[in-house]
Amino acid sequence: MTSRVGGARPAPGGLTPYGAGATTTSVEGVLALVRSRGGRATASRRVLLEILFESRDHRSVEELAAAVQARAPEVHLSTVYRNLEELQRLGVIVHTHLGHGPAAYQLASDAHSHLLCERCGRRIEAPEDLFDGLARAAAERFGFTIDPRHFAILGRCAGCPPNVTGDDA
């Protein structure tokens, strides 16, 4: 279950997010960016981008590869990985660790922070400003810029009872 909290996603504490890059609003815009940086607008890259723009959700490499191969069966998993790496390097997509499962990818323009209930698995999309204090403290004390979109904060949601006995079963 995913709950949407907040709207616009400003950078935490007014800081430039870690890994921030060019965001684009269309497949053609991304392909133009790729070409401007010396890359090629390949058919496999176009299909992958179409899928990312259509779903605008968190998808694992395996899910993305299956969707790409449904449209273009000749595209190998390694090609999907290479395209994801390049798109991430350009700042078009980001990956997030949502608990203990595989990394999930999505467009950077749609990226957000997450709270994840360890007991029921409820995922809450949290506004970036929730991490403003942490981002400021990390920058001031350590000169470190955090990326709260990269990981989920694990805990318990309001619907799950607290663990009073120490037994999580």
> Against a cut of 0.75, is the pTM above it?
no
Q: What's the pLDDT band for 144 if we cut at 50, 70, 90?
A: very high
Task: Please indicate whether residue 107 or residue 149 has the higher confidence score (pLDDT).
Answer: 107
Q: Is the pLDDT of residue 149 over 90?
A: no
76-131 tens-digit pLDDT: 999 999 999 999 999 899 888 887 778 889 888 877 888 989 899 898 988 878 88
Structural domains for the chain? 2-10+22-155 (1.10.10.10)
SS3 109: helix
Integer-rounded Cα radius of gyration of the chain: 18
Rounded (to 5) percent helix, strand, coil in the chain:
40, 15, 45
Residue type, 166: G
pLDDT in tens, 16-67: 344 444 557 889 999 999 999 999 999 999 999 999 999 878 899 999 999 9
Lowest mean pLDDT among 4-13, 50-59, 135-144: 4-13
Q: What are phi and psi of 49, to 5 degrees?
A: -65, -40
- The DSSP code for 73 is T
End-to-end, the C-alpha distance of the chain in Å comes to: 21
Q: Which amino acid type is present at position 102?
A: P
CA 50 – CA 68 distance, rounded (Å) = 9
